[in-house]
Structure 1
């Protein structure tokens, strides 16, 4: 890209000059150093082009949050009164003076309106600038950093500044201090080389949590039939005319193979053979169909999500990085964080699926708080539209998956040994799903769970979480944030799911399995409500922590060891391993139809 074709020299108007005269640069965000495992290798070349996102202040977000919580509470008069695209955009939009002063500042650096792009609500501004210009704009230096384990290299900084007059108007600029490894985003997928069983599988009969008989084979391998038996959903066939839909997200080269889906349908749901999902590309995301490129994560998600809910229409979003992306020797892979790209796309659609399943997660501390907070607010906006967002809780127990030497060590340079929460599962505006195993169900030992270091505990879970903490006492004191948002919220089976990959059956385990399983139950609940002329469920947590406990199967055995500890324990009521429990579709259906 030639700079002369993009950067146009503009003279400052008197108004512009007065707006910035005397406004000195002040640090907006900084970190002590690059996180452990990253090595600085040199200065970024002056002409290396950076793609940066500016998040503009959202002065009306508190109004959106208030509406979200009201419309998600079955006891509130506004329950089910979800917002339209236009109403949400109005509540996310920056103030006019924010737009004016930001545009003036961009023009002071030669960036006219033709040089930037804005999100649908105007709350995100994306600009592509050479490193030299970015260093001048943000009073910093950009360097090349290499990830020691993977060899990936990104251009980043450890601190950036903005004119002090801009601080109230710009919440963040990223990726600057973000060192998350996002290619690919770490899936919460967990491979088991042997079965994780705790009971005799030779029994002729198993009794499910609803008191019904369950095929003994379900203690060796999970299928669609097993999930329907376990969660009291046999005999329910969703409609394809109610307006209901299920969405599955995929990021950065996870491809859902059509042929594998048909093979799965032939094995698990013959009525669905010949049907398919709608594939949508966001920012250059692809869905290549070479069998050798079939993604385990993507295949798992679509086979169970769409297999359980057929004939409900399904959408598969493949999100790439912010375009255009031109690989070079300094950033050979796309380092742009895709969550905000996906949320911006979805919030600009008039009609969106009522349920969305996402099986990807990052260590919370690798995502700068400002960015995690902003993305979390975007999830709240989607919930206000009437969509239920479900995320996997992670597969590292109370730590994160990774080398034992670093899996429980924070990035702040200390040698502390602490529990490390996961994002987006730690966001209070999503429903986070843990994993169980066996019949009767116990917690799967790899299940991520704990307490956020970023987000405070929301009021809707105060009572349940406080009861657990009282029982926990001083155990692990100082290793977790007892006042943080607690997760997971619910759970479902997550071990030994039969999945077809490149034409062959495989057993797959992880909260990646549990998430589309629970999302499928939610999809069917939305179908039942829509057929009854009611609204979609939207954000689930106020209902789940309110009056839904009797419609969930409480899991009281198991734990999630990690960080050289036994981890948290499952117990009566909510716990940071299995949440409130696994679903009983029949009971939940009666509950949601009565509200």
Structure 2
């Protein structure tokens, strides 16, 4: 009895010294992940401790100075090593967390410190991790797919350690998608945000009642005076249409520093499709032209035609950028092997492996005979499964490209706030190094994609049932450029002003509407404050709203359906309607903001080439310049992004949360950016 009382006293004493660090938001996960078995006490779990990063506020200030044309520091980007040194936690932080681990019996040989100094890692038994964090670790099963992750409902840290730690995984932020050894291996669904009617952000138009791409469309009267290649841009958008709409030059430069990069995960382009597209729509480009594939942890080379892993996203991205920037080389960051890549598209660590390869900050380290995750669970490399990548996890192996286009994303609330903030800060670091990161904003109006968090993709809270607007991630991050979609209508030509992207699919039963809105995690960034204030002063849509402290726990307060105080998106737009594209040899018309992000990547690449010729550096983080010089964009004033049982927002003069500031006007942008240092 004495021994029992002594142990109980020790536990209570330890508990008294601990404070709650993170707790799960029930409305986010209840419909997604079902709590299943308790993790076996002896299972080895990959404990990853994100140390509190320092100088983040200074880093934001530094990036804004680098990106502000009025600053003496404009364009003075940092090197990779300078960025690491800027944010590295002090020795006191590292020593305090390490001492805590040692105090709890973690073998010093098992504690690894990441190269960028932001992480401590240790692979330890689940029972030790639970004792360390005063929590219970469970398996969580995806209610639809059966995929497994591990995590907890809440965890605690000693008060003297808590100030040094950002977040810990597995915890409220669950582990990557895992598989038990005895689980049947299934090929997951392909594409981003897929449901039966969509492939990612693209729509196979002629599979849902729309005429095929080569249907004989009547020409609008104004089209008869236009060159033949741009007469039908309202029904078939092509590279020639892009050039005419945005007055883009024909590419003629291939330098060593301005190759744009495309992020691809779970989808693989087919060179045969790219060649077919170039023959059809880019007569100035040799059909054999191919991108350079930078495989990340088993990312594969181009796939042959008719391969099930060719879902269309990669084909489209490659088609657009090569056709517009040739002869400039194009890079593809092909992320993860087939076993993991597709599974990670669904609310897992969508960008983690990618960020690993650029700066090593999200790597699962191998230390003293324990490799990454538990042998019982396997999001680890080498991947022992058939076809799995057998090499080591790739960390910090690629220098970031000057322009990166990403047409993948999730809902903001799919991730805990700490995790979102930390990952967003990684994109801030890319901006400090001179990289422009372009994110497709999505295609479901003010909702998330159907099935994300709720069946409708809209949020519930405070008595409201699926009527609250659902913010897109990564578009919510203040350090990226969110790109929405625009369109021409069938009776319009390149001489007409574009509208917000709204497409009726499948005889009115479904719609694509350009995504836009306001973050629940991030307040208005400084570069957007005056523009957003003007929008609300002149065009307040009259919806109920709440003024929150950028905290998702306040969703729906006082009947609110969006956070007026949040970071607004998209920032810009470009045409995303009806691109005729071969997929596995068959031509479909695709639509979505996924077309707009690579188009903007092409525009920034052409501008960077001209700055390089002039002896100047890359544009880098572009938002502050665009918001202070909106005249270099074509404003869009027609269209809405309805959803969640409401009319959403309207496109109006100036910035709006439907089309942002507008579409590119290349001659004006070139004039501006060549005038800057």
Residues 15 and 134, structure 2, Cα contact 8 Å, conserved in 1: no
CA distance in 1, matches of 2:473, 2:431: 17
Q: In the alignment, which residue of structure 2 is the partner of 1:275?
A: 289
Q: In the alignment, which residue of structure 2 is the partner of 1:443?
A: 500
Please point out which of 217, 223, 245 is paired with 2:232: 217
How do 1:262-301 residues align onto structure 2 when only pairs under 5 Å count? 262-270=275-283, 271-287=285-301, 289-291=303-305, 292=307, 293-301=309-317
Q: In the alignment, which residue of structure 1 is the partner of 2:220?
A: 203
Partner of 1:474, secondary structure, is coil
Residues 400 and 430, structure 2, Cα contact 8 Å, conserved in 1: no
Shift of 1:381: 0.5
Cα deviation code 1:253-306 (max 9, x no counterpart): 222222322222222334243332222222333346243121311221122123
Partner of 1:91, secondary structure, is helix
Q: In the alignment, which residue of structure 2 is the partner of 1:16?
A: none
Please point out which of 435, 439, 456 is paired with 2:523: 456
Residues 179 and 366, structure 1, Cα contact 8 Å, conserved in 2: no
CA distance in 1, matches of 2:39, 2:438: 38
Deviates more, 1:185-194 or 1:256-265: 185-194
Q: In the alignment, which residue of structure 2 is the partner of 1:493?
A: 575
Q: Does 1:422 align with 2:436?
A: no
Aligned-residue CA RMSD (Å): 3.2
Q: In the alignment, which residue of structure 1 is the partner of 2:643?
A: 562
Q: In the alignment, which residue of structure 2 is the partner of 1:401?
A: 449
Partner of 1:360, secondary structure, is coil
Q: Does 1:340 align with 2:352?
A: yes
Cα deviation code 1:522-570 (max 9, x no counterpart): 11111111111111000010001012x1111100000001001111000
Q: In the alignment, which residue of structure 2 is the partner of 1:484?
A: 566
Q: In the alignment, which residue of structure 1 is the partner of 2:403?
A: 355
Cα deviation code 1:84-124 (max 9, x no counterpart): 11111111211111112222333345545653554431113
Q: Does 1:472 align with 2:486?
A: no
Partner of 1:454, secondary structure, is strand
Shift of 1:250: 1.6
Q: In the alignment, which residue of structure 2 is the partner of 1:10?
A: none
CA distance in 2, matches of 1:275, 1:415: 50
Structure 1, unpaired ranges of 5+: 1-19
Residues 251 and 324, structure 2, Cα contact 8 Å, conserved in 1: no
Shift of 1:195: 5.7
Residues 242 and 531, structure 1, Cα contact 8 Å, conserved in 2: no
Please point out which of 130, 133, 157 is paired with 1:135: 130
Q: Does 1:302 align with 2:352?
A: no
Distance change (3 Å), C-alpha of 1:238 and 1:387: farther
Q: In the alignment, which residue of structure 2 is the partner of 1:514?
A: 596
Q: In the alignment, which residue of structure 1 is the partner of 2:82?
A: 87
Q: In the alignment, which residue of structure 1 is the partner of 2:507?
A: none
Distance change (3 Å), C-alpha of 1:130 and 1:305: farther
TM-score, normalising length: structure 2: 0.77
Q: In the alignment, which residue of structure 1 is the partner of 2:336?
A: 320
Shift of 1:201: 5.5
Q: In the alignment, which residue of structure 1 is the partner of 2:201?
A: 189
Cα deviation code 1:209-252 (max 9, x no counterpart): xx99982221111111111111101x43241125212011122x
Structure 2, unpaired ranges of 5+: 1-12, 178-187, 194-199, 360-395, 503-512, 546-559
Question: How many residues are paired up?
Answer: 565
Deviates more, 1:288-297 or 1:392-401: 288-297
Distance change (3 Å), C-alpha of 1:267 and 1:107: farther
How do 1:539-550 residues align onto structure 2 when only pairs under 5 Å count? 539-547=621-629, 549-550=630-631
Residues 47 and 132, structure 1, Cα contact 8 Å, conserved in 2: yes
Residues 466 and 644, structure 2, Cα contact 8 Å, conserved in 1: no
Deviates more, 1:265-274 or 1:494-503: 265-274
Residues 191 and 311, structure 2, Cα contact 8 Å, conserved in 1: no
Please point out which of 582, 587, 590 is paired with 2:668: 587
Distance change (3 Å), C-alpha of 1:578 and 1:313: same
Cα deviation code 1:124-152 (max 9, x no counterpart): 33443443332222221122222223333
